[in-house]
Structure 1
Amino acid sequence: MGVRLSRRGWNNVIIIGVILFIAVIQFPDLLRNRQAANEAAGTPALALLLPELAEINRLVLPAHELLREASGAWRSQPPLADAAQVVAHWQALAGTRVEDALIAQLKPQLTAPRTAEIWLASAQEPIRVTCYQLPQFWLLRNWQGQWLAVTVDEAYLFPASPE
Protein backbone atom coordinates (compact mmCIF):
# COMPACT_ATOMS: atom_id res chain seq x y z
CA MET A 1 0.00 0.00 0.00
CA GLY A 2 2.93 2.34 -0.63
CA VAL A 3 2.79 5.34 -2.84
CA ARG A 4 4.91 5.01 -5.92
CA LEU A 5 6.36 8.24 -7.18
CA SER A 6 7.35 8.90 -10.71
CA ARG A 7 10.72 10.28 -11.62
CA ARG A 8 9.22 13.77 -11.68
CA GLY A 9 7.67 13.24 -8.25
CA TRP A 10 11.03 12.20 -6.76
CA ASN A 11 12.65 15.26 -8.31
CA ASN A 12 10.04 17.45 -6.60
CA VAL A 13 10.67 15.71 -3.25
CA ILE A 14 14.44 16.28 -3.60
CA ILE A 15 13.96 19.96 -4.54
CA ILE A 16 11.64 20.57 -1.58
CA GLY A 17 14.07 18.74 0.73
CA VAL A 18 17.00 20.89 -0.42
CA ILE A 19 14.95 24.08 0.03
CA LEU A 20 13.95 23.02 3.57
CA PHE A 21 17.59 22.15 4.37
CA ILE A 22 18.79 25.59 3.20
CA ALA A 23 16.01 27.30 5.19
CA VAL A 24 16.99 25.42 8.36
CA ILE A 25 20.66 26.36 7.87
CA GLN A 26 19.88 30.07 7.22
CA PHE A 27 17.26 30.54 9.95
CA PRO A 28 19.67 31.33 12.85
CA ASP A 29 21.47 33.97 10.74
CA LEU A 30 18.16 35.51 9.74
CA LEU A 31 17.13 35.77 13.40
CA ARG A 32 20.48 37.32 14.39
CA ASN A 33 20.30 39.89 11.59
CA ARG A 34 16.75 40.84 12.49
CA GLN A 35 17.67 41.22 16.18
CA ALA A 36 20.69 43.39 15.30
CA ALA A 37 18.49 45.59 13.09
CA ASN A 38 15.97 46.01 15.92
CA GLU A 39 18.72 46.96 18.38
CA ALA A 40 20.21 49.46 15.93
CA ALA A 41 16.83 51.11 15.43
CA GLY A 42 16.23 51.38 19.19
CA THR A 43 17.95 53.60 21.72
CA PRO A 44 21.75 53.74 21.58
CA ALA A 45 23.37 51.08 23.70
CA LEU A 46 25.39 52.06 26.72
CA ALA A 47 29.02 51.01 26.82
CA LEU A 48 30.95 50.44 30.02
CA LEU A 49 34.02 52.48 30.83
CA LEU A 50 35.77 49.45 32.36
CA PRO A 51 35.54 45.71 31.70
CA GLU A 52 32.34 44.29 33.20
CA LEU A 53 33.87 42.32 36.09
CA ALA A 54 36.80 44.67 36.68
CA GLU A 55 37.82 45.28 40.26
CA ILE A 56 39.60 48.56 40.97
CA ASN A 57 42.57 48.39 43.36
CA ARG A 58 43.87 51.91 42.84
CA LEU A 59 42.46 55.08 41.28
CA VAL A 60 44.69 58.04 40.46
CA LEU A 61 42.84 61.27 39.69
CA PRO A 62 44.42 64.69 39.02
CA ALA A 63 43.91 65.81 42.65
CA HIS A 64 43.56 62.49 44.52
CA GLU A 65 45.00 59.02 44.79
CA LEU A 66 42.70 56.33 46.16
CA LEU A 67 44.13 52.98 47.27
CA ARG A 68 42.39 49.83 48.46
CA GLU A 69 43.93 48.57 51.69
CA ALA A 70 44.26 44.88 52.56
CA SER A 71 41.14 45.18 54.72
CA GLY A 72 39.12 46.31 51.68
CA ALA A 73 38.72 49.87 52.96
CA TRP A 74 39.69 52.80 50.75
CA ARG A 75 42.35 55.32 51.69
CA SER A 76 42.63 58.64 49.88
CA GLN A 77 45.47 61.12 49.62
CA PRO A 78 44.51 63.92 50.20
CA PRO A 79 41.63 62.67 52.35
CA LEU A 80 38.10 62.46 50.90
CA ALA A 81 34.86 62.21 52.83
CA ASP A 82 33.75 59.06 50.95
CA ALA A 83 36.56 57.52 48.91
CA ALA A 84 34.66 54.25 48.42
CA GLN A 85 31.79 56.14 46.77
CA VAL A 86 34.15 57.85 44.30
CA VAL A 87 35.62 54.46 43.32
CA ALA A 88 32.09 53.03 42.95
CA HIS A 89 31.24 55.89 40.55
CA TRP A 90 34.20 55.04 38.31
CA GLN A 91 33.54 51.29 38.64
CA ALA A 92 29.96 51.56 37.33
CA LEU A 93 30.46 54.38 34.82
CA ALA A 94 28.79 53.81 31.44
CA GLY A 95 27.96 56.13 28.60
CA THR A 96 26.58 56.43 25.10
CA ARG A 97 29.05 55.56 22.35
CA VAL A 98 30.12 58.53 20.24
CA GLU A 99 30.92 57.94 16.58
CA ASP A 100 34.25 59.04 15.10
CA ALA A 101 32.52 61.55 12.82
CA LEU A 102 31.14 63.42 15.85
CA ILE A 103 34.52 63.25 17.60
CA ALA A 104 36.06 64.92 14.54
CA GLN A 105 33.49 67.73 14.82
CA LEU A 106 34.12 68.13 18.55
CA LYS A 107 37.94 68.13 18.25
CA PRO A 108 38.28 71.95 18.42
CA GLN A 109 36.46 71.92 21.79
CA LEU A 110 38.67 69.17 23.26
CA THR A 111 41.31 71.42 24.77
CA ALA A 112 41.82 70.59 28.46
CA PRO A 113 42.07 66.83 28.98
CA ARG A 114 42.13 65.22 32.39
CA THR A 115 43.48 61.76 32.91
CA ALA A 116 42.47 59.08 35.37
CA GLU A 117 44.65 56.03 35.97
CA ILE A 118 42.66 52.98 36.98
CA TRP A 119 44.60 50.01 38.31
CA LEU A 120 42.61 46.78 38.14
CA ALA A 121 43.21 43.68 40.23
CA SER A 122 43.44 41.58 37.05
CA ALA A 123 45.92 43.75 35.10
CA GLN A 124 49.62 44.56 35.26
CA GLU A 125 49.24 48.02 33.69
CA PRO A 126 46.68 50.71 34.50
CA ILE A 127 43.89 51.78 32.21
CA ARG A 128 44.41 55.43 31.36
CA VAL A 129 41.14 57.23 30.75
CA THR A 130 41.24 60.57 28.95
CA CYS A 131 38.37 62.87 29.98
CA TYR A 132 37.16 66.08 28.34
CA GLN A 133 34.49 68.27 29.91
CA LEU A 134 32.10 69.79 27.39
CA PRO A 135 29.14 72.07 28.25
CA GLN A 136 26.49 69.31 28.11
CA PHE A 137 28.48 66.15 28.87
CA TRP A 138 31.82 64.53 29.59
CA LEU A 139 33.67 62.74 26.82
CA LEU A 140 35.71 59.76 28.05
CA ARG A 141 37.72 57.16 26.19
CA ASN A 142 37.05 53.69 27.59
CA TRP A 143 39.34 50.68 27.94
CA GLN A 144 38.49 49.53 24.40
CA GLY A 145 39.35 52.89 22.83
CA GLN A 146 35.71 53.88 22.30
CA TRP A 147 34.57 57.41 23.08
CA LEU A 148 31.66 57.65 25.52
CA ALA A 149 29.41 60.59 26.32
CA VAL A 150 28.55 60.69 30.02
CA THR A 151 26.26 63.23 31.66
CA VAL A 152 27.37 63.62 35.27
CA ASP A 153 28.41 66.45 37.54
CA GLU A 154 32.13 67.22 37.77
CA ALA A 155 32.23 66.23 41.45
CA TYR A 156 30.91 62.78 40.50
CA LEU A 157 34.17 62.05 38.66
CA PHE A 158 36.63 64.48 40.23
CA PRO A 159 35.65 65.25 43.83
CA ALA A 160 36.89 68.37 45.55
CA SER A 161 38.93 67.99 48.71
CA PRO A 162 37.14 68.93 51.92
CA GLU A 163 38.48 72.21 53.24
Structure 2
Amino acid sequence: MGIKLSRRGWNNVIIISVVLFIAAIQFPELIRARLEPEASQTSPTIQSLLPEQAVISRLVLPQHVFTAQDGRWIVDPQIEQQPGTVIEHWQSISGTLVDDATMEQLKPQLNAPKTVEVWLHAADEPVRVTVYQLPQFWLLKSWQGNWLAISVDESYLFPH
Protein backbone atom coordinates (compact mmCIF):
# COMPACT_ATOMS: atom_id res chain seq x y z
CA MET A 1 0.00 0.00 0.00
CA GLY A 2 2.29 2.74 -1.22
CA ILE A 3 1.50 6.36 -1.71
CA LYS A 4 1.89 7.47 -5.24
CA LEU A 5 2.60 11.21 -5.54
CA SER A 6 2.73 13.33 -8.62
CA ARG A 7 5.71 15.48 -9.44
CA ARG A 8 3.90 18.47 -7.87
CA GLY A 9 3.16 16.43 -4.73
CA TRP A 10 6.85 15.49 -4.33
CA ASN A 11 7.81 19.16 -4.79
CA ASN A 12 5.42 20.06 -1.97
CA VAL A 13 6.91 17.35 0.28
CA ILE A 14 10.44 18.64 -0.40
CA ILE A 15 9.43 22.26 0.25
CA ILE A 16 7.68 21.35 3.51
CA SER A 17 10.67 19.22 4.57
CA VAL A 18 13.09 22.10 3.96
CA VAL A 19 10.90 24.53 5.90
CA LEU A 20 10.64 22.08 8.83
CA PHE A 21 14.40 21.53 8.76
CA ILE A 22 15.09 25.30 8.89
CA ALA A 23 12.52 25.71 11.69
CA ALA A 24 14.16 22.89 13.68
CA ILE A 25 17.56 24.57 13.35
CA GLN A 26 16.23 28.02 14.34
CA PHE A 27 13.98 26.82 17.17
CA PRO A 28 16.66 26.74 19.94
CA GLU A 29 17.78 30.27 19.04
CA LEU A 30 14.18 31.49 19.12
CA ILE A 31 13.62 29.91 22.55
CA ARG A 32 16.87 31.42 23.88
CA ALA A 33 15.91 34.90 22.65
CA ARG A 34 12.49 34.66 24.33
CA LEU A 35 13.88 33.46 27.66
CA GLU A 36 16.71 35.99 28.01
CA PRO A 37 15.95 38.70 30.56
CA GLU A 38 15.20 42.11 29.10
CA ALA A 39 18.01 43.68 31.11
CA SER A 40 20.58 41.98 28.93
CA GLN A 41 19.28 43.84 25.89
CA THR A 42 21.08 47.06 25.12
CA SER A 43 18.90 49.76 26.64
CA PRO A 44 20.03 53.11 28.02
CA THR A 45 20.65 53.27 31.74
CA ILE A 46 18.38 55.63 33.66
CA GLN A 47 19.80 57.28 36.78
CA SER A 48 18.47 59.79 39.32
CA LEU A 49 19.98 63.25 39.58
CA LEU A 50 19.81 63.20 43.40
CA PRO A 51 20.11 60.39 45.97
CA GLU A 52 16.95 58.27 46.20
CA GLN A 53 15.72 59.33 49.65
CA ALA A 54 16.96 62.94 49.32
CA VAL A 55 14.68 65.72 50.53
CA ILE A 56 15.41 69.20 49.26
CA SER A 57 15.53 71.95 51.89
CA ARG A 58 16.78 74.76 49.62
CA LEU A 59 17.17 75.17 45.86
CA VAL A 60 19.34 77.91 44.37
CA LEU A 61 18.68 78.43 40.66
CA PRO A 62 20.41 81.12 38.55
CA GLN A 63 17.36 83.44 38.78
CA HIS A 64 15.49 82.18 41.87
CA VAL A 65 16.09 80.90 45.39
CA PHE A 66 13.62 78.44 46.96
CA THR A 67 13.72 78.06 50.74
CA ALA A 68 11.62 75.75 52.91
CA GLN A 69 10.13 77.75 55.77
CA ASP A 70 7.55 76.45 58.24
CA GLY A 71 6.38 73.70 55.87
CA ARG A 72 5.98 75.91 52.81
CA TRP A 73 8.26 77.23 50.07
CA ILE A 74 9.38 80.83 49.87
CA VAL A 75 10.68 81.98 46.46
CA ASP A 76 12.77 85.04 45.80
CA PRO A 77 11.83 86.60 43.42
CA GLN A 78 8.23 85.42 43.09
CA ILE A 79 7.18 83.07 40.28
CA GLU A 80 3.83 82.32 38.63
CA GLN A 81 3.79 78.56 39.18
CA GLN A 82 3.62 76.77 42.51
CA PRO A 83 7.08 76.59 44.15
CA GLY A 84 6.39 73.03 45.32
CA THR A 85 6.02 71.93 41.71
CA VAL A 86 9.49 73.18 40.82
CA ILE A 87 10.94 71.43 43.89
CA GLU A 88 9.18 68.17 42.91
CA HIS A 89 10.64 68.44 39.41
CA TRP A 90 14.19 68.78 40.72
CA GLN A 91 13.67 66.07 43.33
CA SER A 92 12.41 63.53 40.78
CA ILE A 93 14.72 64.21 37.81
CA SER A 94 16.04 61.06 36.19
CA GLY A 95 17.92 60.93 32.95
CA THR A 96 19.75 58.74 30.50
CA LEU A 97 23.35 58.11 31.51
CA VAL A 98 25.77 59.67 28.99
CA ASP A 99 28.98 57.72 28.42
CA ASP A 100 32.46 59.27 28.17
CA ALA A 101 32.70 58.81 24.39
CA THR A 102 29.45 60.71 23.87
CA MET A 103 30.61 63.46 26.23
CA GLU A 104 33.80 63.87 24.18
CA GLN A 105 31.67 64.37 21.06
CA LEU A 106 29.42 66.88 22.85
CA LYS A 107 32.22 68.97 24.42
CA PRO A 108 32.47 71.47 21.52
CA GLN A 109 28.76 72.28 22.00
CA LEU A 110 29.01 72.81 25.76
CA ASN A 111 29.06 76.50 26.52
CA ALA A 112 27.37 78.79 29.03
CA PRO A 113 26.94 76.33 31.91
CA LYS A 114 24.47 77.05 34.68
CA THR A 115 25.12 75.98 38.25
CA VAL A 116 22.31 74.89 40.53
CA GLU A 117 22.77 74.32 44.26
CA VAL A 118 20.49 71.69 45.78
CA TRP A 119 20.61 71.70 49.57
CA LEU A 120 19.40 68.44 51.10
CA HIS A 121 18.15 67.85 54.64
CA ALA A 122 20.94 66.70 56.96
CA ALA A 123 23.70 67.67 54.50
CA ASP A 124 26.53 70.08 55.29
CA GLU A 125 27.24 70.94 51.65
CA PRO A 126 24.88 71.35 48.70
CA VAL A 127 24.84 69.14 45.65
CA ARG A 128 26.18 71.38 42.90
CA VAL A 129 24.62 70.50 39.57
CA THR A 130 26.20 71.76 36.37
CA VAL A 131 23.57 72.24 33.66
CA TYR A 132 24.08 72.65 29.91
CA GLN A 133 21.29 73.35 27.45
CA LEU A 134 21.70 71.69 24.05
CA PRO A 135 19.22 71.98 21.16
CA GLN A 136 17.57 68.58 21.72
CA PHE A 137 18.14 67.95 25.45
CA TRP A 138 19.68 69.12 28.72
CA LEU A 139 22.89 67.74 30.26
CA LEU A 140 23.04 67.65 34.05
CA LYS A 141 25.86 66.37 36.25
CA SER A 142 24.38 64.09 38.94
CA TRP A 143 25.34 63.86 42.60
CA GLN A 144 27.51 60.87 41.65
CA GLY A 145 29.42 62.90 39.04
CA ASN A 146 27.75 61.23 36.06
CA TRP A 147 26.28 63.15 33.16
CA LEU A 148 22.57 62.69 32.52
CA ALA A 149 20.58 63.68 29.45
CA ILE A 150 16.96 64.75 29.88
CA SER A 151 14.42 66.12 27.44
CA VAL A 152 12.18 68.66 29.16
CA ASP A 153 10.97 72.17 28.52
CA GLU A 154 13.10 74.94 30.03
CA SER A 155 10.26 75.99 32.37
CA TYR A 156 10.36 72.49 33.92
CA LEU A 157 13.80 73.27 35.35
CA PHE A 158 13.88 77.04 35.48
CA PRO A 159 10.59 78.85 36.17
CA HIS A 160 9.87 82.25 34.63
Answer with 1 or 2: which has the greater Rg. Answer: 2
TM over 0.5: yes
Looking at structure 2, the residues matched to 115 and 40 of structure 1 have their Cα atoms a distance apart, in angstroms, of 36
Structure 2 partner of 1:5: none
Shift of 1:122: 2.4
**Which sections of structure 2, spanning at least 5 residues, go unmatched?**
1-35
Confirm or deny that 1:62 pairs with 2:62: yes
**Which sections of structure 1, spanning at least 5 residues, go unmatched?**
1-33
Confirm or deny that 1:148 pairs with 2:148: yes
Looking at structure 2, the residues matched to 94 and 153 of structure 1 have their Cα atoms a distance apart, in angstroms, of 14
Normalising by structure 1, what TM-score? 0.73
**Cα gap change, 1:112 to 1:125, in 2 (>3 Å):** same
Answer yes or no: is the 8 Å Cα contact 1:119–1:126 preserved in 2: yes
Normalising by structure 2, what TM-score? 0.74
Structure 1 partner of 2:75: 76
SS state at 1:148 partner: strand
Structure 1 partner of 2:27: none
Confirm or deny that 1:90 pairs with 2:90: yes
Q: Which amino acid aligns with 2:119?
A: W
Q: Which amino acid aligns with 1:75?
A: I
Structure 2 partner of 1:7: none
Looking at structure 1, the residues matched to 109 and 150 of structure 2 have their Cα atoms a distance apart, in angstroms, of 16
SS state at 1:135 partner: coil
Structure 1 partner of 2:158: 158
SS state at 1:76 partner: strand
What's the C-alpha RMSD, in Å, of the aligned pairs? 1.3
Aligned length: 124
- Deviates further, 114-123 or 38-47: 38-47
Q: Post-superposition, which runs of at least 4 consecutive aligned residues in structure 1 deviate over 6 A?
A: none
